[in-house]
A and B are shown apart, each in its own frame.
Chain A
Amino acid sequence: MSPRWSRLSLPLRYAWRNAWAHRGATAATLFGVAISVMVYVVMGATADSLKGIAASTGDPANAIALSKGASSAESSRLDAPTANAVRFAPGVLRDASGEPLASVELLAMRRIPIPGLPPDDPASQRFMSLRGVTPAALLVHPGVRIIAGRFPAASGELLIGRLVTENLGAIGIGSEVSIEGRPHRVVGVLGAEGQFFESELWMTLEDLRGKSGDREASAVVLRTSGPAAAAALVDTLEKSRSVNVSAKTEPEYYAQMQRASTAFVYLGNLIGGLLGLGAVVAGANTMYATMSRRIREMGTLRALGFGRWRVGASLLLESTMVSLLGGAIGVLLALAWNGVAFSIVSLSFELAIGPANAARGMAMALAIGAAGGFLPARSASRLEIVAALRHV
C-alpha cells in the first residue's frame, strides 16, 4: 500500500466508525433520506409511466381523423358517411381483399357500477372509457392482443382491458358488468403493452351507438405504410374538400394526453424537494452534534498532522456516505412499488421504476448528504488546534 493511499484511507474508515458510534442519530438521518428518496422516485416514476402510456399508444404509422375542431375523440362526432369516406382516403393500407385498414371507433365515458357493490351508490361507481369498435381495430392497433377469450361479436358483450380490474374489482371472462342498467357479459380480455386500451371496455360499435343517441362515430384510425405516409395522409385529410375532418398523426394526438403527467412531475418535485430539505436539516443537525462531541479529537488529529481539509472532509464524507446508504434503501423501498397497478380516474397503469428513476433518486441522496455535511465540515476545518485541544 502506498503511503499516500494509507493516508487517504484513514478518513474513510474513520467516517464509517464514527457513523456507527452514534448509530441512533445516523439511523434517524438514514430514515429521513430513505423516505425522501422513495417518495421522489415513486412520484417521478408515476409521471414517467403516464408519459410512457401516451408515447406507446401513439403509433407513428397511424393517423387519426376527428370532427373539425374536436381536440379529443371523446368530444368528436363524425357522421357515418363521413367516417366511411375517410376510410377510403388515399394512402390508407389495404388488406388482401382490398378493404382499407381503417377502424371506425366511438368513444364515450360512462359511470359503471362496480360489480358486486350496490349499483345505486355513487361511491361504488367509476368513470370508465368505453370504445365501440369493429374487428378492424385489431388491425390498426398493433399493440393490442386478445390474451383471453374472444372479440365481442354481438350486443351485450365486452372485451375488457387487462387493467380494468384496478377500477372495477376482480372481474374476468363470464363476469357481468352493468352499463346503463343493461347487463353486459365479459367475453375477452385484452393486453396492449402499456397502452391506454388496457384501461378501456371495448364493445361492438353498434352496441355503443345504441347508447349514444345520435352519435355515430368519434374517430377513424387509419393505418399507413409508415410515418411519412401518415404525415402525408394527415395533410391530405386536412386539406380535403370532400370530407370535413381534422386529422393528426397518432403520436401527435396522444402527446396532448401527456398533460396529466405534469401534475405528478410537479407534486413529485415539490414533495420530494421539501422532504429532501427536511433530510438536509436533519443531517446538518446530526453532523453538528458529531462535531461538537469530537472537537478535542479533531484537535488531536490536526496535531498529528492531518490537514484542515482532511478533518473537514471526513465529516462531509460521513454525511454523504450515510445519505447515499439512505438513498439506496429509499430506492429499494421504491422498487417494492415496481409493477403495482394504480388508477387515476379512468386510466389504469402499472408503475415502472427504471434505472433512470433510481439514478435520479441516488443523485438526490448525494445532494442531501453534501448539503447537510457542508456547513459542519466547514466549521470543523476552521478549528484552531490549540483551542480544540483545550475544549471541554
Chain B
Amino acid sequence: MKFTTEIARQAPLVARQLRRSPRRTALTFLGLVISFFLFTSLESLLYTMSNIVSGASRDALLFTRAADPDYWRAKLPASYAEAIQELPGVVAASPVRFFFGTGRNEGGYAVAMGIEPDAHLKLGIPDGVTGDELRALFTERDAALVGERMLEDNQWKVGDRVTIGGRARQPDLTFTIRGDVARGDRLDRVAIVRLDYLDEVLGGGGRVSFIQVRARDAGIAPAVADAIDRRFANYTMPTETVTEKAHIAPFIASLSDARDGLRIVGYLALAVTLLVVANSVAVGVRERTREIGALRAMGYGRARVMSLVLAEALVVAVVGGSLGALAAYALFQTGRIEVPGAGLVYRSDLSVVVRAALYSIPLGLLAGAQPAWNAVRMTISDALRYSE
C-alpha cells in the first residue's frame, strides 16, 4: 500500500521530467522502438525456424517411410496404411504420394500431394479450408485444394483448371482448383489432390511416398513408431517411422550457425539501446543537478531521488520497448512477411512479444543505475552550487 502511494506521489514528477525535453524523450523513445522492433523481429525469425520442428511435434504426428534413402520415390505399399490403422494407439494413418512437377514458371518446382481424403482429414484439416471446399475434394475426382502461396506463385485462382508439368518423362497433372489452404499452414505451397486421381494419371498405383500417422497422444508416439517398424520388419519393404520433429531435426540443426548469428545480433541491438537510454537519462540528470540538490535540501532522501531517476528510465524503456515489440508482432501476425530467398514466412507469438517486452525492465533499470547514482553522489551544497 505504501509502495503504491509512493508511486502515485512520484508519477507527476516523472511525467514532468519526461516532458522537460520533449525532443530528447522522443529521440530516446524512437531508439527504443527501433531496437525492440529489431529484437522482436529476430526472435520471431528464430521462433519461425524452431517452430517448424516443435509445431510439427505437438500433434503426435508420425512419419512412416520406406527404410530406403530414396523414400520419396513412392515405394511404400499403400496397403501398409490399413495395417497401421489396426495397431493400438493409432488414431489415423494416411498414405501420401508426392508429385514433383513444373508450375507456370519454367524451372520452378510445383508440388502436388495425393491423399485419401477421409483418412487424411483425421490427421487434421488444413487452415482456411471450408466445408464446401472439402466436399468438392470428396465428390470431384480431379478437384484440388491449393496453398495460397502456390496460387500466388503461379498466378492461379480458385476455380481455375490448371496443369503441373511432368518432369523427367512423367505425365502432366491437370486439376481444378476448388479451394485454398491459408497462408501460414504447412501446406500453403502444395496442391492437395486425391490419391486415386494421382495414381490414375501417374500409373504405379498402390505405392506411396510415405504414410502419415497420428498417435493418440504425443506421449505414446515413440512406442507407436516402434510398433509400426516391428510390424513390417520382416517384409520385403521394411519401414522407418520417425516423428516429424526427428524428420526435420537434422535440417534445423544444420542451421545452427545462422541461428546463433541472429541471436547475437539481437542482443547486440539491446546493448546499443541500453547505452542510448543510459546516455539520455544521464544528460537529463546532469541538466537538473541543482534541482536535485534543492529536492534533497527540502528533505527528499537519497533513496527517493534515486528511485525518481530509475522510474524515469524504466518508464521510457518499458513503454518504448513494448511498443517496438508490439509493432513487430502486428506486422508478422499478418503472415505476409517473408524472408526472400529462404522461403520462410515470419511467424510470431505473443510469448515472443512478452519476453521481448520483459527485457525492457532490466534494460531500463540498468540504464538508470549510473545516472541515479550520479544524482545522489554529490553533497547537497555542491549540487546547489553546480554549474555546467
Binding site for B on A (CB under 8 A): 24-25, 27-28, 31-32, 35-36, 39, 67-71, 75-77, 108, 110-111, 122-127, 167, 180, 211-213, 215, 256, 259-267, 270-271, 274-275, 277-279, 281-282, 284-286, 288-289, 292-293, 342-346
Which residues of B lie under 8 Å from residue A292 when comparing CB positions?
Answer: 21, 287
Q: Is B251 an interface residue (CB 8 A)?
A: yes
Are A266's CB and B268's CB within 8 A? no
Per-residue CB contact flags for chain B residues 249-281 toward chain A (1 = under 8 Å, else 0) read: 111011101100000010011011101101110
Give the complex CA separation of A178 and B73 in angstroms: 23
Q: From DSSP, what is the main secondary structure of chain B's interface residues?
A: helix
Are B272's CB and A279's CB within 8 A? yes
Which residues of A lie under 8 Å from residue B275 when comparing CB positions?
Answer: 27-28, 31-32, 282
CB distance from A21 to the nearest CB of B (A): 11
4 other contacts beyond A31-B275, A292-B287, A345-B251, with CB at 8 A cut-off? Answer: A263-B340, A263-B344, A275-B268, A284-B27
Are A28's CB and B341's CB within 8 A? no
Are B168's CB and A278's CB within 8 A? no
Of A167, A180, A265, A282, which is in contact with the most chain B CB atoms at under 10 Å from its CB?
A282
Are A125's CB and B107's CB within 8 A? no
Give the complex CA separation of A279 and B35 in angstroms: 10
CB distance from A1 to the nearest CB of B (A): 33
Known: A167-B254, A281-B31. A261 touches B341 (CB 8 A): yes
Which residues of B lie under 8 Å from residue A111 when comparing CB positions?
Answer: 250
Q: Which residue of chain B has its CB nearest to the CB of A33? A: B272
Q: Which of B87-118 contact A (CB under 8 A)?
A: 100, 102, 107-109
Are A127's CB and B250's CB within 8 A? yes
Give the complex CA separation of A350 and B173 in angstroms: 43
Known: A25-B279, A69-B168, A259-B341. A345 touches B37 (CB 8 A): no
Are B279's CB and A281's CB within 8 A? no
Are B276's CB and A288's CB within 8 A? no
Q: Which residue of chain B has its CB nearest to the CB of A348? A: B257
Q: From DSSP, what is the main secondary structure of chain A's interface residues?
A: helix
Q: Is B46 an interface residue (CB 8 A)?
A: no
Which residues of B lie under 8 Å from residue A126 when comparing CB positions?
Answer: 250, 253-254
Give the complex CA separation of A160 and B278 in angstroms: 51
Q: Is B137 an interface residue (CB 8 A)?
A: no
CB distance from A256 to the nearest CB of B (A): 7
Give the complex CA separation of A338 and B366 in angstroms: 33
CB distance from B277 to the nearest CB of A (A): 10
Which residues of B lie under 8 Å from residue A212 when comparing CB positions?
Answer: 69-70
Known: A69-B165, A284-B27. A39 touches B73 (CB 8 A): no
Which residues of A lie under 8 Å from residue B385 when comparing CB positions?
Answer: none
Are B279's CB and A275's CB within 8 A? no
Q: Is B42 an interface residue (CB 8 A)?
A: yes
Give the complex CA separation of A24 and B280 in angstroms: 11
Are B253's CB and A344's CB within 8 A? no
Are B168's CB and A67's CB within 8 A? yes
Give the complex CA separation of A339 and B286 in angstroms: 45
CB distance from A40 to the nearest CB of B (A): 10
Q: Which residue of chain B has its CB nearest to the CB of A69? A: B167
Which residues of A lie under 8 Å from residue B42 when comparing CB positions?
Answer: 271
Are B109's CB and A71's CB within 8 A? yes
CB distance from B55 to the nearest CB of A (A): 16
Give the complex CA separation of A261 and B280 in angstroms: 38
Are A282's CB and B272's CB within 8 A? yes
Which residues of A lie under 8 Å from residue B242 when comparing CB positions?
Answer: 122
Known: A28-B279, A271-B38. A278 touches B273 (CB 8 A): yes
Give the complex CA separation of A111 and B23 in angstroms: 56
Give the complex CA separation of A39 and B107 in angstroms: 34
Which residues of A lie under 8 Å from residue B18 when comparing CB positions?
Answer: none
Are B69's CB and A108's CB within 8 A? yes
Of A28, A211, A277, which is in contact with the most chain B CB atoms at under 10 Å from its CB?
A28
Give the complex CA separation of A282 and B283 in angstroms: 12
Are B69's CB and A266's CB within 8 A? no
Which residues of A lie under 8 Å from residue B1 when comparing CB positions?
Answer: none
Are B268's CB and A35's CB within 8 A? yes
Q: Is B68 an interface residue (CB 8 A)?
A: yes
Q: Which residue of chain A has its CB nearest to the CB of B25? A: A285
Q: Which residue of chain B has its CB nearest to the CB of A30? A: B275
CB distance from B246 to the nearest CB of A (A): 4
CB distance from A351 to the nearest CB of B (A): 11
CB distance from B35 to the nearest CB of A (A): 5
Known: A274-B34, A278-B35. A260 touches B341 (CB 8 A): yes
